[in-house]
Amino acid sequence: MTTMSEEKSGNKFVNYIKGIFDFSKHDTKTKLIILVFIGLVVLSVVLLVYNYFIDESFLTNIVIRYIVIPIRQLGWIGILIILGFMVIQGLLVPIPSELVLLAIGIIYGLVFGTVIGIVGSMGAAIVCFYISRHGGRPVVENVIGEKNLEMVEGWLEKRGFATVLLGRVIPFIPFDIISYGAGFVESIKWRDYLIATFLGSIVRSLFYAFLGDSLLPFEKGLLDTFATAPIIGPLIVDNIIGGVQDQFNLILLILLAGLGVTFLVYQFVLLPRLRKRQE
């Protein structure tokens, strides 16, 4: 038999889901923003399921074959493209920015990869913050509730800088969620956000540049044969992808775990404390 507490919890969950999809109080522009956000989340889930249960080399193949190799062949033009891609990537939920930073480490090595990672991270952070501040709040209100959002805003008013800095420094806390989260909190000022992002991105970019450089320490030259050896080149690339796909998938899994832990901490640690302080 179902107990009253279980029934109450079930009703609470149903009401929560209904609240997310309740667009009645929003204008047409906001409804479109919410629908696009939901669509990107669904697409992300589909791609992740495909990568882990159907083709384990899917995301690795995208990073190596369609990012690393073309960028290496383009020289300085490739740097401009990868910086532009990092900015655009901030709008594409299915591809975590951490995988792009990893690819930059593979392409450019430790030092130069760190520098490019910092510049690209700043560009992506600015775009995500701007979009969130000028249209992201209704999405968050639908997901976590208006009262909860107000409590979080009050907390971030005193700790916004430290929260952004900590979120950037810890490598496995998703970068984009911090950018969007900071954007909808009006108390976080542009100056504080940019300074915290810059300082944190130094550590983050260095970490992923080191990781990327370590994944393919000897194969960088082999990747260049893709352009000069039309027969053996693709075979070499296939072998490289097969050799690193497990590491890529593990890193992605850790990133997803970081996202899950972030949500759990927010839901079961931060919010209960904020509610007690208001009582």
Interval 37-65: pLDDT, tens: 677 778 878 888 998 999 999 988 888 88
Q: What is the pTM of this model?
A: 0.72
Select the more confidently predicted residue: 24 or 182. 182
Q: Take residue 260 and report the two structure tokens written for it.
A: 């899950």
Give the model confidence (pLDDT) of 164-176 as tens digits. Answer: 888 888 887 777 7
Model confidence at 29, in pLDDT bands (50, 70, 90)?
A: low
Separation between Cα atoms, residue 159 and residue 17, nearest integer Å: 30
* CA 122 centroid distance within chain: 14
Separation between Cα atoms, residue 97 and residue 67, nearest integer Å: 13
Residue 224's SS3 state is helix
pLDDT, average across residues 144-167 = 72
DSSP 116: H
Model confidence at 162, in pLDDT bands (50, 70, 90)?
A: confident
In Å, what is the CA distance from 130 to each residue of 12, 123, 145, 204? 33, 11, 22, 21
